[in-house]
Structure 1
Amino acid sequence: MISRKMLVGTIAAAVMTAGMASGAMAETTIGVVAKIGGIPWFNAMEAGIEQEGKARGVDAFMVGPTSADPALQVRAIEDLIARKVDVIGVVPNDAKVLEPVLQKARDAGIIVLTHESTASVNKNYDFELVSAKDLGEAHAKLLAKTTECKGGYAVYVGGLTVPAHNAWADAAVAWLDENCPDMKQVADRFGVAESVDDSRNTTLDLIRAHDDLTGILAFGSQGPVGAARAVEERGLIGKVAVVGLFSAGQGRKLVHSGAITGGYVWSPLEAGRVFVALGKMLAEGGTVSDGDELPLLGKIRLEGSNIFANMPLALSKDTVDGLAEMGL
């Protein structure tokens, strides 16, 4: 059993090693803390961070905690503050838990960028490649089309405290309540979508418990994969739709088998690049206004300190192979 102390030590070492490897003499230093390391989504984000860092002459690196424990993100941010980086990026597992340490970073003069966390308070900016409402509703419409608004459905998120996942889910449920009033959730929301095994097991349990189950909405990159494997195992392809966002390379076989119906996503690789491009611009004194054309994001909408672009990607049998070949 790996202790919390050992995990924390691993993160601290990763911060120092990654930074040294990426070139400590760079003019601007940007450290990005992922939700969890070692899964395809954040592997792609890390590739984007490294690509853009090299292209822009920035010391940019990602720290991937060994589990989706908010305390490990706190520790990683503490280590980045101690290292005196110029910009800290983070994709929060729990926005509230991170508020004190993000305030500490800003008090130290460090620019704070969040992603998938519009509710975060202690940040300079949060950026989203598609709005929560648009993304949630797009998934709801796909589920409604596939199920013809019949039967019951379940909702998975990466965690019940993950800001973006729950915002997407809220938007999807609101749309379904209005447009498919006879279609109801069979159970409360499940915080399992960052684990293939947990999503699979939850889906198997739901299939056993609910004869009227016709759909799974999974917001979290591992959720559709786990749910689809359960649907495949039980021979329910075409009877239980799985809709959500996932890494194309990880889910492509399940899409082609029909176990995953499809979904909408943005590019984690592009999100990684944006952390670097936007961070460098702000570190050099740049500003953001509503309607600006920003590097990589194009024309943006600014709401308070939240930056919205409009860059959704459809995941389907027609697109998944091309997206997978792009490393998404």
Structure 2
Amino acid sequence: MTAKHSLALALIAAVSGAASAADEPVVGLITKTEINPFFVKMKEGAQRAAKLQGARLLTGAGKSDGDNAGQIAAIENMIAAGAKAILITPSDSKAIVPALKKARDQGVMVIALDSPTEPVNATDALFATDNFKAGLLIGQYAKAALAGKPAKIATIDLFPGHPVGIARHNGFLAGYGVAGIGAKTPELAKSPELVCMADSFGDQGKGQTAMENCLQKNPDISLVYAINEPAAAGVYKALKAAGKEKDVLIVSVDGGCAGVRDVKAGVIAATAQQYPLKMAGLAVEAGVTYARTGKKASGYVDTGVTLITDRKLAGVESRDTAFGLGACWGK
């Protein structure tokens, strides 16, 4: 082979490589943390979808739930790396908005996953569980399970002002039958049956502490709503330490594998299962479509929720833990 031919082949390879890179859409995924099983599964779904779509996936996360600065840094890094779409589970639904506006002003499509921003239109679209419905399902279940028996309720919530925490809490109370609560109720609702509200930040240890404090406030609590299954596991530990684990009904939201096993074991009576794999996969597809065609996703995409329990009750649609374990996430 002559030197001239070698140079020509090198030039062809270089041009081909540049074209290949240009054809590979870049999509970013920013989660609240790297370690929560929900976000681990979300990342897995995004990676799978990116591979199928021939896209390059960039990933980032905050150091902990609430780390807005970490998410802003990830956004800036992804813009610099050429991302055409960024998918984000916002830790701070308000404080993240200026960074998202900066991204959108530069032509980046932004999709919120799992949690909406405030305002909702700070992103192009929202792909998420209907969190009000998730709460509604477990509230309806709790009402049916108690069969008319009055309850003293504790809610082990997320943290103040978070839209997911508000939606699940209010959905639970609405499902339980508390009047005047809707999906757009802007703050945590209350009712005469609700004797204690405490924040857990979705953490098992903090959930245990929150429940211990509630029991000190009112030792006759008979029904507990927990924002997620780690918090519910903490609630159970507190109840067991107090000798009350058989006297209190616990309901929750998430549908992780550990949580579904807790339903099977009777630790949690019922949980509302959501689907982060589907959430991320659909959003990556939308991001690739935008990168290749300029067509933006818009509005709200409901990624589904299912009530999981092994105690089926009349009038409450549910699936058993065998189904839940087949669709769960985490270990």
Interval of TM-score (by shorter of Structure 1 and Structure 2): 0.7 to 0.9
**Paired residue secondary structure (2:222):** strand
Q: From the superposition, tell whether residues 56 and 245 of structure 1 become closer, same or farther in structure 2 (CA, over 3 Å).
A: same
**1:98 and 1:311 mapped to 2: Cα distance?**
26
Map residues 26-175 of structure 1 onto 2, 5 A cutoff: 27-68=24-65, 69-115=67-113, 116-117=115-116, 119=118, 120-129=120-129, 131-148=130-147, 150-175=150-175
Q: Residue by residue, what CA displacement relative to the aligned partner does 1:127-160 show, whole Å, maximum 9, x if unpaired?
A: 224x343222112112222334522212233322
Q: In the alignment, does 2:321 pair up with 1:312?
A: no
> Can you list the C-alpha shifts for 1:188-227, whole angstroms capped at 9, x where unaligned?
3x33142111011111221233122112212235322222
For 1:221 and 1:92, how far apart are their aligned partners in 2? 20
Query: Aligned pair in 2 of structure 1 residues 221, 280: CA closer, same or farther (>3 Å)?
Result: farther
Question: Does the CA contact (< 8 Å) of 2:29 and 2:88 recur in 1?
Answer: yes
- Once the two structures are overlaid, the 10-residue window that deviates more, 243-252 or 98-107, is 243-252
**In structure 1, the residue corresponding to 2:251 is in which secondary structure?**
strand
Change (3 A) 1:136 1:247: closer
**Deviation for aligned residue 1:263:** 1.6
TM-score by length of 2: 0.77
Q: What SS does the corresponding residue of 1:112 show, helix, strand or coil?
A: strand
Give 1:249 shift: 1.4
1:231-242 to structure 2, matched below 5 A, reads: 231-242=239-250
Deviations 1:13-58 (A, max 9, x none): xxxxxxxxxx977621111111122121111111111111111111
Given that residues 151 and 184 in structure 1 are in contact (C-alpha distance below 8 angstroms), is that contact kept between their aligned partners in structure 2? Answer: yes
Q: Quick one: which amino acid aligns to residue 173 of structure 2?
A: V
For 1:280, give the aligned amino acid. V
Output the CA distance in 2 between the equivalents of 1:264 and 1:209. Answer: 28
Say whether the 8 Å CA contact 2:62–2:71 is kept in structure 1.
Answer: yes
> For residues 200 and 121 of structure 2, what CA distance do their matches in structure 1 show?
26
Counterpart amino acid of residue 117 in structure 1: P
- Contact 1:90-1:113 at 8 Å conserved across structures: yes
Pairwise CA RMSD: 2.7
1:280-310 deviation line (CA, Å, top 9, x unaligned): 223322355xxxxxxxxxxxxxxxx531436
CA 1:168–1:113: 2 relative to 1, 3 Å:
same
| Structure-1 residue corresponding to 2:194 | 185
- Separation in 2, partners of 1:221, 1:95: 22
User: Does the 8 Å CA contact 1:262/1:315 hold for their aligned counterparts?
Assistant: yes
Deviation, 1:79, is 2.0
Deviations 1:85-123 (A, max 9, x none): 111111112210101100011011110000221643321
| Paired AA for residue 281 in structure 1 | T
Distance 1:324 1:25 in 2: 41
Structure 1 residue ranges (4+ consecutive) displaced by more than 4 angstroms after TM superposition: 23-26
- Determine the structure 2 residue equivalent to 1:259: 267
Moved more, 105-114 or 139-148: 139-148
- 1:271 is aligned to 279
The aligned amino acid for 2:262 is L
Secondary structure of 1:243's match?
A: strand
Taking a change above 3 Å as real, the CA distance of residues 108 and 245 of structure 1, as seen in their structure-2 partners, is same
Q: Distance in 2 between matches of 1:243 and 1:24?
A: 48
